Structure 1
Amino acid sequence: MRTRTRSPRVTAAALAASAALLLGLTVAPAADAASPHRDRAATLDDLARQHGRYFGSAVDNPELADTPYADLLGTEFGQTTPGNGMKWDATEPRRGVFDFTAGDEIVNYAKAKGLKVRGHTLLWHNQLPSWLTSGTWTADELRSILKNHITKVVKHYRGKVFAWDVANEIMNEDGTYRENIFYKTLGPGYIADALRWARAADPRVKLYLNDYNVEGTGAKSDAYYTLIKRLKADRVPIDGFGMQAHLALQYGFPYQMRQNIQRFADLGVDVAITELDIRMILPSDATELAQQADWYGQVTSACLAVRRCVGITLWGYSDRHSWIPATFPGEGAALPWDENLRHKPAYDALRKALTATTS
């Protein structure tokens, strides 16, 4: 191959500089137009990427109309999860009639901002449409309904989401199966079926089970450990376990979190922190905010310490749009940004944990 030599190009800026030197003037160096953000501070996602992870935040459709909030989400984070737009009541409000408007809005926003998307969620005992919950279904009918729903939704978002929470919150605190409509009609086998149908609809997407109060060891996380181990043995497609991590200062920190993440990783699945927030009794004070910051750092460090912990998602990043006050009256201040989109001590703790060297 012959190498072509390129003649030096004399730019207007170079001519101006030469003229200035002849006149004895000094010239300030020009900005590098090719690197307009070279001095931009690293974002949380930038720091997470240095460890091979992502750092994200959930968002709900009304929040996209809050321009400052949506802009910060699109610059600080590398991943997002639709808070409600992909749930059953949104995607199939009438039997066999699908509406992807809300989910598509967030996917399109994410694409414009360069964020990847976690799908949430294909089946859950909440936010089911009334046509489904009020019906009297035989096992064959409900299997057909569930298969059709999963297949249509997953196919619609094939190539647009990197992971799905296939089954959400399917266990009780004591480790027994939650008696949702699917369990009561189909038995526990509906979980494996749902995973198989999702895999058939999108062979490349990562398939997760997802729940809260599973960050530490205990009856509930033990039940998921046993379930995932059995699913793997039965060659059911299962790629990951989502630990929501809705924590509260008054209930204590799950100090076995790192070991718990590791034991799931040792089963051969990824682990993700999927819905992180850390609430407190209001009004907050400096001591509580410092404790919250410490916990955010500990969660991040626990994830970074396990190779197969693939990323962290905040359940909204600012107290401005948190779900906590409406769900837990008298509690809140759960997120690393306050109502005015200002950093709290938790934000600094996240940065510190993400810049620390992992063991």
Structure 2
Amino acid sequence: MSRTRLRVAAALAAVLVAAGIATGPAAQAHDRQPTLAELAQRHGRYFGSATDNPELTDPAYTRLLGSEFDTITPGNGMKWYATEPQQGVFDWTEGDQIVHLAREHHQRVRAHTLVWHSQLPDWLTSRTWTAPELRAVLKKHIQTEVRHYRGKVYSWDVVNEAFNEDGSYRETIWYKTLGPGYIADALRWAHQADPGAKLYLNDYNIEAVGPKSDAYYTLARELKAAHVPLDGIGFQAHLALQYGYPGTLEENLRRFSRLRLDTALTEVDVRMQLPATDEKLAEQATWYADLTTACLAVRRCVGITIWDWTDKYSWIPAVFPGEGAALPWDDQLAPKPAYFALRAALGHRE
């Protein structure tokens, strides 16, 4: 075990022993603990959570969402099906609700996502487009949405999940009709609409060095050489205990930094095969700590976003039957070992 992991493990052990005392009502009343966001800010990072509109009716949920994090990401409310349900007819209701919530709590918004192959409206997917037609549709959508949120969001996941696992381009409606140049076009159009927003490419299974992350590295290098406005790469970090930890994460973050790009862990969760056991929860805690330590070790890794903060609203059980317990708080909104591991990795001693 590395010195870093030994340090985090020792700190975590001390935290877990003290947790019952440190998080009790009396302790909170007289000695408020710093939040995850406040701990991350000490390192010049942010610590955020995704959220989604249906759960905003849960006051216990929104209280912690508004206090523990300094950035939020809309899980679905800014995707194409929600924002342009009919061609040329835009609906900002869900996205605006989350932007308003963020402003109330002095949080920034990581806006997600402009160009994706999934969750597209029927009007877009049910017909065949010529390249000029689809190019015009894509440009209008990107620029209309980005202009609407101009000055209100910190960053955009402009293109989401553009590559297959082997590093080949995913055969999406965009790639098949427009070719690979759609990525550079999307970035340029987004930058024209809001020059102040940070622009990211975002994907899963690119945490480790391998064919898929190599494809992003090659693309990012080409885009930078062509002076395309690209600011960062988002590593989703949807991990699962049964598949092993991405041990080359820190190395991978560093190589993108050498391209003068920011990186961020954008959709973090660590799922397991149910039922959850103490052993699995302990391993999950170590993974959360290791992810955080890797980001802190690389100057241009700017922050971490968990993909919602409580198992109560996790997407995992609906998509991966028999799996779950992926987040740092359980479905009763109680902190799990992963939460205390995050605090330890961020350098806080309870």
Query: Do they fold alike, i.e. is TM over 0.5?
Result: yes
SS in 1 for 2:55: helix
Q: Could you say which residue in structure 1 is the equivalent of 2:161?
A: 169
Residues 281-320 of structure 1 mapped to structure 2, 5 A cutoff: 281-320=273-312
Counterpart amino acid of residue 100 in structure 1: W
1:37 shift after superposition: 8.7
**1:7-55 C-alpha deviation (Å, 9 max, x unpaired):** xxxxxxxxxxxxxxxxxxxxxxxxxxxxx99942100000000000000
Deviation of the 1:136 alpha carbon = 1.4
Correspondence for 2:340 among 331, 337, 348: 348
Rounded Cα–Cα distance in structure 1 between residues aligned with 2:275 and 2:30: 40
Q: Describe how 1:1-359 pairs up with structure 2 within 5 A.
A: 39-355=31-347
1:10 aligns with none
Quick check: 2:50–2:267 contact (8 Å CA) kept in 1?
yes
Cα displacement string for residues 235-293 of structure 1 (whole angstroms, at most 9, x for unaligned residues): 10000000000000000000000000010111111001000000000001000000000
User: How many Å separate the matches in 2 of 1:67 and 1:49?
Assistant: 26
Distance 1:238 1:38, change over 3 A: farther
Matches of 1:247 and 1:171, distance apart in 2: 18
Deviation of 1:345 (Å): 0.4
Q: Secondary structure at the match of 1:178?
A: coil
Task: Output one character per residue of 1:186-215: Cα deviation in whole Å (capped at 9) or x when no partner.
Answer: 000000000000000001100000000000
Higher CA-based Rg: 1
2: distance between equivalents of 1:348 and 1:199? Answer: 39
Question: Residue type of the partner of 1:265?
Answer: S
Once the two structures are superposed, residues 49-77 of structure 1 have per-residue CA deviations (whole angstroms, 9 ceiling, x without a partner) of 00000000000000100110011110011
TM-score (norm 1): 0.88
**Residues 39, 348 of structure 2: 8 Å contact kept:** no
Distance 1:127 1:114 in 2: 29
Distance 1:282 1:193 in 2: 43
Give the secondary-structure state (helix, strand or coil) at the position aligned to 2:286: helix
Query: Counterpart amino acid of 2:270?
Result: I
Q: Which whole-Å CA distance do the structure 2 matches of 1:84 and 1:67 have between them? A: 20
Q: Which protein is richer in helix relative to its size? A: 2
* Unmatched 5+ stretches in structure 1: 1-35
SS of the residue 2:153 aligns to: coil
Aligned residue for 1:355, secondary structure, equals coil
Deviation at 1:229, TM superposition (A): 0.3
Shift of 1:100: 0.4
Output the CA distance in 1 between the equivalents of 2:108 and 2:32.
Answer: 21
In structure 1, give the amino acid aligned to 2:303. G
* Aligned partners of 2:82 and 2:94 also within 8 Å: yes
Question: How far has the Cα of 1:356 moved from its partner?
Answer: 6.6
Q: Deviations over 1:294-341 (max 9, x none)?
A: 000000000000000000000000001000000000000000000111
Q: Which amino acid is 2:98 matched to?
A: I
1:281 partner letter = Q
Question: Which secondary structure state, in structure 2, belongs to the residue aligned with residue 42 of structure 1?
Answer: coil
Residue identity in the other structure for 1:254: P
Match of 2:23 in 1: none
Tell me the SS of whatever aligns to 2:259.
Answer: coil
Q: What is the root-mean-square deviation of aligned Cα atoms in Å?
A: 1.3
Percent identity between the two aligned chains: 65
For 2:30 and 2:233, the matched residues in 1 are separated by 37
Size of the aligned set, in residue pairs, is 322
